[in-house]
Structures are given as C-alpha cells and as structure tokens.
A and B are shown apart, each in its own frame.
Chain A
Amino acid sequence: MNPGLIELKEVAKYYHMGESIVKAVDGMNIKVHDGDFVAIMGSSGSGKSTAMNLVGSLDLATKGDIYLDGINIETLDESDLAQIRGKKIGFIFQQFNLIPNLTAKENVMLPMMFQGVSADDRSSRAEKLLKLVELSDRMDHYPGQLSGGEQQRVAIARALANDPDVILADEPTGNLDTKTGEKVMAFLEDFNKKGKTIIMVTHDPKLAHEHAKIIYQIKDGKVERKLKKVNKKWKPFR
C-alpha cells in the first residue's frame, strides 16, 4: 500500500492536569496522501488542535506512531525534526503568527534562513512569493502596519517559502471577514490544484465541505467519520 505523506497510527495524546489525565486524542488514525486537500473538522474541545499539532509534528504522541514522509518522527531528535518540518510543512495559523519586528519580506525569508538558503536567494524568492499573494507593495511593512488579510497572506507566502509538500492551515479564515477569508481559501485551492497537499483544521463544516476533498470529523479525541468527495457527493470511506 502506498505510504501516506503523513500518517497517524493509533495515536494518543494525554495531558496531565494535576491528578487527572486528559485524553485529548485517543486512538486516532489519519492518513494524508500526496495532493490531498484534507479538512480536520471538529468542535472546540474535540481534540482537533491537538490533532493538528501531531499532524504537523509539532508535538510527540503519548502512544502510537506518527510518520512524516515515511519516517517515524519518534526516531528523530528535536533539531532534525525541526529541519524536516521546516522543509516539508508550511504552517498557516489562525493568529497569523508573524514575527512583529521583521518586515513582511523578512518574515517570508525566515524559514529559508533556517534551511541555510543564501541571502540573495532568500530575498528573490521572498519577493516572488509576496508577488504571488499580491503584496508586492507591502514588502517592507511590519506586521503591525498590515491588515489581518494582508498578514494572513504574508503568512501564506511564508508557508510556501521552502516549497513544502504540505501546507498545514489552522483555522486560516478564523480571524478574517468573509471576503478576505474567501480570498485566502482561493489561494489554498489554487496551491492544491498545483499539486500541494493541504491540511486544514477547522470547526466550520461549511468551509470544510466547500473546499476540502477529504474530511476527518473528530469527536472526543477520535475520528468519528471519514468522508470523501466523489462526484460532488460526500461518501464515507475506509
């Protein structure tokens, strides 16, 4: 069977809250293939944020295995994992999470710096990416000088900096108005058409149904339902 780009096998994540143990994720199986547009959907408290951290290999599982490009991330040390993550996955956060004292362009250049890309290449690629998200005229602005939609587009450009296989978007439209949100989603769909794998975490069924091709519905730390869009119709799959 074709190994997934990202695969969670019987993954569990427990948190200790004083005496009690919170089972944020408990026995979750997710498999993401190259070129997918996956939505991880669930209400707050369902464990979807924890799931996103695990999928993005930002966190290690308490039980089970997480594979990134066929490698069990458990076997990597933190720095190697950071390197692979920086190369393979581009993150888009709900809060944009740009570095406030760097300009838009410098923010986009940052992930490339951690991969050891030369300053000249970083600069020209950042300019190209900002042009792609239609922010050529905002390159030297600081995040504080940009609107929410503009900041999220900078974040998208940053996510694309190292030409990752996967873009992981956590509520990408959560802090945006409908119109700007649609614009951001249009970018994501466009990238997906160009071959990038998109994983989107959202609480919004409408957003998931409208844009994604596969939906993992999360409840109580488990995958409750797996749906796949076939001929514009959602069908469960195994």
Chain B
Amino acid sequence: MIKDYIILAFRNLKRRGLRSYLTLLGIFIGIAVVVALIGLGDGLRMAVNSQFGVSTTQVLTVQAGGLSGYGLPGTGVVNSLTKDDVTAIEKISGVEIAIPRNIETVKVEFNKKLIVGYAASLPKGEDREAIYETLDLTIQYGQNLKDSDTFMVVLGNDFSQKEKSGFDKAVKVGDKLIIQGKEFRVAGMMEKKGSFILDRVILMDEDELRSITTNDENVDIIAVKVRNKDDIEKVKSDIENLLRERRNVKKGEEDFQVSTPQAMLTTVNQVLLGVQIFIVIIALISIIVGAIGIVNTMTTSVLERKKEIGIMKAIGARNSDIFLQFLIEAGLLGLLGGFLGIIFGSLISYLGVNGINSFIGSTIRPKIDFMLIGFSLLGSFLVGAVSGLTPAMRAARLRPVEVLRQ
C-alpha cells in the first residue's frame, strides 16, 4: 500500500518537473552545506592536528617569549631559555626527561642552488630516542642519526621530492649538502608526515648545529616528557612556577610559555568549531526556507489537484489515503533534496580535502560518515513531511462533491 503511494508520489513530482526541482533547492543547499562542512571540518581538523606532528600526549613544550606567530619558535627572544633551565626542569617530580632543542635558520646549498631552511637539533644518547619517539619519526630511506655519526643529517620528506625540495632535484641518501658553509652527508630521510614543519626539517646533532651557527648556550625549545600523561597539567603548572621564580616575573606577566599539544589543538579546534557552528546556522536557515518552499508548493498542488482529490474520494479513497498521499509526496521532495545535497556536499568535501592536501601537503582522507548520511536523509524526509502536514490535511478534508462540481 505504502509502495503504491510512493510510486504515485513520484509520478506527481515528475509531472511537476522543474517546479519540483526548484522546490527542493532549499533543502538541497542546506543539506549540501551541512554534509560538506562536517566532512571538510573533520578533514581540516585532522590536517591541523597533523601539522603539529604530535603523536603523544605526554610532551610539554617550553619556549621563551610566548607563542610567536612569525619566525621559528624561540628565536628573536631577548631573554632566552638556558641549559640551566633544562636541568632545573628535569628535577621537577613527574618529569621524565627535559630535552633542550635548538631550531636555527640555515643556508643550505645543493645542486648549485642555495635555499634557506631550518635545522633542528637532536640531543645525544637516550634523549635522541625520546625525540624520535615523541615526534613519531620514522625513517623511509637510509637510517637515523647515530651518536657516532659526524656531520650527517636526517631530512624531512619534502627533500626527497624533486618539486618540493627547493633544489630542482630530489635529495638522496648519501648526497652532500653544504649547510652554513660546512659539508654534511644525508644519513636518512623521514616518512611523509603531512606537516610543513616536519616535512622540511633538517635534523642534526646539537653540538654540530651550535658549531655552525652563532648560538652559544641558548635553548630555543625545551621538550618535556612527563612520566604519566595524567600529570601533564600539574607538571605544566610546576614548570610555570619554577620559571617564574628563575626569571623573576609575576603571574600573568610571563615572558615564556608552557604549552601542551592538546592546548594548542584545543584553541585551533575551538576556532574551527565556531566557524562550523556559524555555517551550520546558515544551512539551517536554508533548510527552513526550503521547508517553506515545500509548504508553498504542496499548498498550490492541493489547490491544483482539487478535482483529482475529489475523483479519488468518489472512487473510495478515505481521508487517510489522501493525507498519506500528499504527506509522502512532501516527504519525498525533502528526501530527494537531501539525497542530492548529500551527493553534492560529499563531492565538495572530497574536493576540499584534496585541496587542503595539495596545499599543505597533508595526507588526510575524506571521511564518509554513514551516520551523517543516514541522519541527513531521515532529517530531510522529516522536514519535507512536516512541511507537507498542513497541505496534506487540507487535501484530506476536501469534500468530494465540492471539488467535483468545478
């Protein structure tokens, strides 16, 4: 019985042709925006998260001067962190290790081309392993730096690609680079991380980095690994207290920053969420406009088909038959809009995520969320059906004799 109504409803929608399509435009746009946005938002969030190159939640980052928007972290700071700070932090209970790291801008020459890159220091011994672990670095070609290696580097994945290396030529394991006038050999190259920081980094021994740059005892970043990740907030405030004392600053006037990766992500995600909520509100408005469109079309349709309704009633249709007929028709209008919206929205989100990938070199895969699709379909059917409620009731209440007389 319901099947018959659905077939009939499809016929009627088809008969109205363009008008049906125009009617479902509002629902279509609304659903498309929601689907595209959720897909894109998730993709964007994943992309942003991967930019931080964080795989562990046990690492805190300490740097002087607060979060700088420009330049490399910890550079251009008047009151730098020192090795003594590192030793002091390491004594805080709950801290497993504190690793000083330097990040320097360096001139790199290869294939007779000179570029400006940045080099990050690797500590020696166990600390080195800890860095590999916290950054989740995996070697794709060659091998990691060993303590015994001299004047060797490990490169980010971008250098292994001709187009992205900046040298018009891919760098291979064993190649020689001139960094700050000194010759270095490539020991290994990392797997692609999808992060512009990690994919372009040049990793080298901390002493060698210090020797080729002007840096003396300054430390740009201190990576602090906590023993237990549940203690991360406590350790964070302990470090803050310690540094306040050491640097003689009051609370609220800190010239340094202790950040958890989570905190950074949370900030970014909050901004993203704000944008998403805003666009979802716009999408909802579009759906409401779409619903009004369905009410309008169905009301017109009832008026146009008064005679048809009369005939159906004369040949035995009950009020509920007519009501169902119009309700299903309205629901199908919504459903169709939703269906097309999902297809279009998914396409946008797919293209958008690919765009993000090619723009920042991440490897996010567009996500197909079946829950989202299911709810969108159900939601758009319900919007249609609810919009069709009043017109359907009007149609059902028509008296056969009144409409047949026309």
Contacts and interface: CB of A to CB of B under 8 A. Distances in A.
Given A53-B401, A113-B4, A119-B4, A58 B317 contact: no
Interface residues of B, number: 26
A59 interface: yes
B318 A83 contact: yes
Interface in B312-335: 312-321
Interface centre among A82, A93, A111, A115 (most CB of B within 10 A): A82
B12 interface: yes
A42 interface: no
Contacts of A110: 312, 315
A44 interface: no
Interface in B295-322: 307-308, 311-321
A82 B401 contact: no
B308 A99 contact: yes
B83 interface: no
Contacts of B372: none
B404 interface: yes
Contacts of B12: 101
Interface string A77-101: 0110011011100110100011111
Contacts of B314: 56, 58, 85, 91, 97
Nearest to A118: B1
A49 B15 CA distance: 32
Given A97-B307, A101-B12, A102-B11, A79 B318 contact: yes
A171 B1 CA distance: 33
Given A58-B400, A58-B404, A97-B307, A111 B315 contact: yes
Size range of the chain A interface in the assembly: 20 to 34
B400 A113 contact: no
Contact of A114 (B15, B318, B400): B318
Nearest to A159: B315
A82 B1 contact: no
Contact of A58 (B3, B14, B318, B401): B401
Nearest to B3: A119
A148 to B, nearest CB: 17
B308 A82 contact: no
A78 B315 contact: no
B340 to A, nearest CB: 22
Interface in B332-382: none
A61 to B, nearest CB: 12
Interface in B17-42: none
A18 interface: no
A97 B315 CA distance: 11
B246 interface: no
B399 interface: yes
A85 B401 CA distance: 13
B319 A78 contact: yes
Given A59-B401, A99-B311, A86 B317 contact: yes
Nearest to B8: A102
B404 A114 contact: no
B348 to A, nearest CB: 35
Contacts of B3: 119
A203 interface: no
Contacts of A162: 316
Interface centre among B308, B312, B401 (most CB of A within 10 A): B401
A82 B313 contact: yes
B312 A101 contact: no
Nearest to A170: B404
A87 B315 CA distance: 8
A158 interface: yes
A114 B321 contact: yes
Interface in A40-60: 49, 53, 56, 58-59
A50 B315 CA distance: 18
B302 to A, nearest CB: 15
Interface in B71-108: none
A179 B12 CA distance: 35
A91 B6 CA distance: 26
A93 B310 CA distance: 12
A93 B406 CA distance: 13
A82 B11 contact: no
Nearest to A109: B4
Interface in A5-50: 49
B258 to A, nearest CB: 71
Interface string A136-168: 000000000000000000000010011000000
B316 A115 contact: yes
Contacts of B400: 58-59
B401 A114 contact: no
Given A53-B401, A99-B308, A114 B315 contact: yes
A91 B315 contact: yes
B310 to A, nearest CB: 8
Given A97-B311, A99-B311, A101-B12, A82 B316 contact: yes
B317 A82 contact: yes
A59 B314 CA distance: 10
Contacts of B307: 97
Report the 8 A-B pairs with minimum CB-CB distance, sorted nearest first.
A86-B316, A79-B318, A114-B316, A59-B401, A111-B315, A58-B401, A101-B15, A97-B311
23 contacts: A53-B401, A53-B404, A58-B404, A59-B399, A59-B400, A59-B401, A78-B318, A78-B319, A82-B319, A86-B316, A91-B315, A97-B404, A99-B311, A100-B15, A101-B12, A101-B14, A101-B15, A114-B312, A114-B317, A114-B318, A115-B316, A119-B3, A161-B315
Interface of A: 49, 53, 56, 58-59, 78-79, 82-83, 85-87, 90-91, 93, 97-102, 110-111, 113-116, 119, 158, 161-162
Given A97-B404, A113-B1, A116-B1, 8 more contacts: A53-B404, A79-B318, A79-B319, A82-B318, A93-B311, A100-B308, A101-B11, A101-B12
